[in-house]
């Protein structure tokens, strides 16, 4: 198939999923065309089956707001016509689903049929999309998509609850490349960060409020009182300054390292013992899956789609949002003995294997085939 993929090219989960899906589909022989405003961060290699089309935007002094949607729609029309796309897969509803609809209508005027698949990722539904400044367009664009997928059952339910959707939403969970995300031998790195054999606690995110990174710090502070440990914070974002402040107030600075945005995240996860994800909402929790694949058990909230990934008492534990005491207690159950840690690590990996790219990618292939077939069948 010739597949166009639109996504945010940044470190965010939706962009990562879109890029990894494109890579996996390319390996299976499909021709993939990424159409984004800059090179996706995980698209850092050459593949003969992958092309990247940058959306360039002509500036004009009149524009207080850059008309990105117009530029993206024009680029989609161009790529679809000249590359002969069979399907266009857009990740994150805003603004990609409505832009795809616009492109589809323009192509129809040229006699070209382009089926659109929209994947809902989370905040496009649970936070931003339902705001009245976006809702009518999001509802319309989802309903006009030829196929709609959500990354968890929880997100599917939220979508039906928040929007008037008359389309069947297919749940296709996120997935993981187990060749890349596997435990690597990085003992020298571990010794440098935890020279006295401390336990290593880790969190990765975009440091937005919804991630509740302050809870990570509170949980760590409680663990550290009983078990010698260090905390690695990976990523960056709007809450970073407040989190640094909190570490100073709690006198934790010697044991907390801010590593910033990292490309080779699997190397860091490989040396860690516990991943903390206390999010307010989380449609799936891809960062937790990446940790589990590197044999890191997860302490998380029970928000959104997390219970579909983290199995309580098996791959880690879940607590109510904000219950840092319970999270810390559960963390210590895992970390207290080497035997317990070993057991949770192995169980985390077993669970991650259920989300192997090789298992999930064919679900997208089958879904594309179904959507293409339906769009070519004249309505009765
Ligand atoms: O978590 C974020 O803020 C980034 C966001 C995104 O769209 O880039 O992540 C969402 O999509 C990921 C991939 O499907 C999911 O694993 C995350 O759970 C989801 N984030 C939220 O729902 C908050």
116-120: strand order across its sheet: 50-54, 31-36, 2-6, 87-91, 116-120, 147-150, 169-171
The answer as to whether 180 is a domain residue is: no
- Rounded Cα distance between 232 and 221, Å, is 13
The answer as to whether 27 is a domain residue is: yes
Q: Do both 69 and 170 map to the same domain?
A: yes
What's the CA-to-centroid distance between 287 and ligand 1, angstroms?
Answer: 9
Is the distance from CB of 247 to CB of 256 less than 8 angstroms? yes
Per-residue pLDDT of 217-269, as tens digits, reads: 999 999 999 999 999 999 999 999 999 999 999 999 999 999 999 988 999 99
Q: How many domains, the chain?
A: 2
- Rounded Cα distance between 73 and 138, Å, is 16
Taking alpha carbons only, the member of 229, 300, 304, 311 closest to residue 271 is: 229
Q: Do both 170 and 196 map to the same domain?
A: no
Per-residue pLDDT of 84-123, as tens digits, reads: 999 999 999 999 999 999 999 999 999 999 999 999 999 8
The pLDDT score that the predictor gives to residue 246 is 98
Residue 174 has pLDDT above 90, yes or no: yes
- Contacts of 160-163 with C-beta under 8 Å, sequence gap 24+, read 162/125, 162/126, 162/129, 162/130, 163/125, 163/129, 163/130, 163/135, 163/138, 163/139
Indicate the pLDDT class of residue 379, thresholds 50, 70 and 90.
low
- Which residue reads 């809450």 in tokens? 239
Indicate the pLDDT class of residue 185, thresholds 50, 70 and 90.
confident
The answer as to whether 206 is a domain residue is: yes
Q: Do both 321 and 200 map to the same domain?
A: yes
Q: Do both 28 and 133 map to the same domain?
A: yes
Any idea how long the chain is?
380
The pLDDT score that the predictor gives to residue 44 is 82
- pTM of the full predicted structure? 0.94
The pLDDT score that the predictor gives to residue 347 is 98
The pLDDT score that the predictor gives to residue 130 is 79
Percent of all residues in the chain with a pLDDT value above 90, rounded to a whole number: 89
The answer as to whether 179 is a domain residue is: no
Pocket of ligand 1 (CB under 6 A): 12-15, 17, 92, 121-123, 126, 151, 174, 206, 208, 210, 281-286
What's the CA-to-centroid distance between 10 and ligand 1, angstroms?
Answer: 12
- CATH number of the structural domain spanning residue 99: 3.40.50.2000
- Rounded Cα distance between 162 and 169, Å, is 14
Which residues constitute the domain of residue 16?
2-174+357-376
The answer as to whether 234 is a domain residue is: yes
The pLDDT score that the predictor gives to residue 250 is 97
Pairing of strands 229-235, 199-205: parallel
- Residue 210 CA: nearest ligand 1 atom is 23
Q: Do both 86 and 209 map to the same domain?
A: no
Which of the listed residues 10, 181, 282 should we mutate to test ligand 1's pocket, taking the one with most ligand atoms within 8 A of CB? 282
The mean per-residue pLDDT over the stretch 45-56 comes to 92
Residue 288 has pLDDT above 80, yes or no: yes
Q: Do both 296 and 344 map to the same domain?
A: yes
Percent of all residues in the chain with a pLDDT value above 70, rounded to a whole number: 99
The mean per-residue pLDDT over the stretch 341-352 comes to 98
The answer as to whether 182 is a domain residue is: no
Residue 127 has pLDDT above 80, yes or no: no
- Output the residue whose Cα is nearest ligand 1's atom 14: 121
The answer as to whether 91 is a domain residue is: yes
Q: Do both 153 and 274 map to the same domain?
A: no
The answer as to whether 85 is a domain residue is: yes
**C-alpha to C-alpha distances, 120 to 105, 160, 279, nearest whole angstrom:** 21, 12, 18
Q: Do both 326 and 364 map to the same domain?
A: no
Q: Do both 170 and 208 map to the same domain?
A: no
Q: Do both 130 and 207 map to the same domain?
A: no
Q: Do both 118 and 99 map to the same domain?
A: yes
Average pLDDT over the chain reads 95
Indicate the pLDDT class of residue 41, thresholds 50, 70 and 90.
confident
- Residue 126 CA: nearest ligand 1 atom is 22
Question: Which bin fits 207, alpha (ψ -120 to 50), beta or left (φ > 0)?
Answer: left
The pLDDT score that the predictor gives to residue 380 is 63
Q: Do both 52 and 163 map to the same domain?
A: yes
Residue 321 has pLDDT above 90, yes or no: yes
């Amino acid at each position: 198939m010739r597949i166009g993929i639109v996504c945010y090219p940044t470190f965010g989960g939706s962009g990562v999923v879109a890029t990894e899906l494109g890579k996996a589909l390319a390996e299976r022989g499909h021709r993939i065309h990424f159409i984004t405003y800059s090179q996706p961060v995980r698209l850092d290699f050459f593949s003969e089956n992958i092309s990247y089309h940058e959306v360039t935007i002509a500036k004009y002094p009149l524009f207080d707001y850059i008309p990105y949607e117009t530029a993206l729609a024009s680029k989609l029309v161009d790529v679809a016509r000249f590359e002969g796309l069979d399907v266009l897969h857009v990740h994150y509803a805003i603004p990609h689903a409505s832009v795809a609809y616009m492109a589809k209508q323009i192509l129809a005027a040229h006699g070209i049929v382009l089926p659109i698949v929209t994947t809902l990722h989370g905040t496009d539904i649970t936070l931003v999309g339902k705001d009245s400044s976006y809702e009518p367009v999001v509802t319309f664009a989802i309903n006009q998509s030829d196929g709609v997928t959500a990354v968890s059952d929880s997100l599917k339910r939220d979508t039906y609850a928040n929007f008037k959707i008359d389309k069947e939403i297919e749940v296709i969970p996120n997935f993981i490349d187990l060749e890349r995300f596997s435990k690597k031998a990085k003992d020298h790195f571990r010794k440098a960060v935890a020279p006295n054999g401390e336990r290593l606690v880790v969190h990765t995110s975009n440091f937005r409020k919804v991630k509740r990174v302050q809870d990570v710090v509170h949980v760590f502070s409680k663990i550290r009182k009983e078990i010698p440990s260090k905390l690695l914070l990976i990523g960056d974002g709007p809450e970073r300054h407040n989190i640094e402040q909190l570490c100073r107030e709690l006198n934790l600075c010697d044991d907390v390292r801010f590593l910033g945005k990292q490309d080779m995240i699997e190397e860091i996860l490989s040396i860690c013992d516990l991943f903390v994800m206390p999010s307010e909402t989380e449609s799936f929790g891809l960062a937790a899956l990446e940790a589990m694949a590197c044999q890191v058990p997860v302490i998380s909230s029970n928000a959104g789609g997390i219970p579909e990934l983290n199995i309580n008492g098996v791959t880690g534990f879940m607590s109510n949002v904000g219950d840092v005491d319970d999270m810390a207690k559960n963390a210590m159950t895992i970390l207290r003995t080497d035997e317990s840690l070993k057991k949770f690590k192995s169980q985390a990996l077993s669970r991650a294997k259920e989300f192997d790219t090789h298992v999930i990618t064919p679900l997208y292939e089958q879904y594309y085939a179904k959507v293409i077939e339906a769009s070519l069948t004249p309505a009765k």
